[in-house]
Amino acid sequence: MVALGKVRTKDRLRIAGICNDDHCLLCVTGTDACTHLFFRCSFSRNVCLGILDWLKIRSSPDEYVYVSWRKWGRKYKSRRMQQVCYCALAATVYYVWKARNISLWQQSVPRIEVWVREIKSVVYRRIKAIVNSKWSAHELAWLSELAQNIN
Nearest to 13 by CA among 22, 4, 25: 22
Nearest to 89 by CA among 111, 105, 70, 64: 70
Q: Is a pLDDT exceeding 90 seen at residue 139?
A: yes
Average pLDDT on 12-20 reads 65
* pLDDT given at position 98: 92
What is the Cα–Cα distance from 115 to 96, expressed in whole angstroms? Answer: 9
Average pLDDT on 122-140 reads 94
29-56 residue pLDDT tens? 877 777 777 778 889 889 988 998 999 8
72-116 residue pLDDT tens? 777 788 889 988 988 998 899 899 989 988 988 898 999 999 999
What is the Cα–Cα distance from 70 to 50, expressed in whole angstroms? Answer: 16
| Bridge partner list, 31 | 23
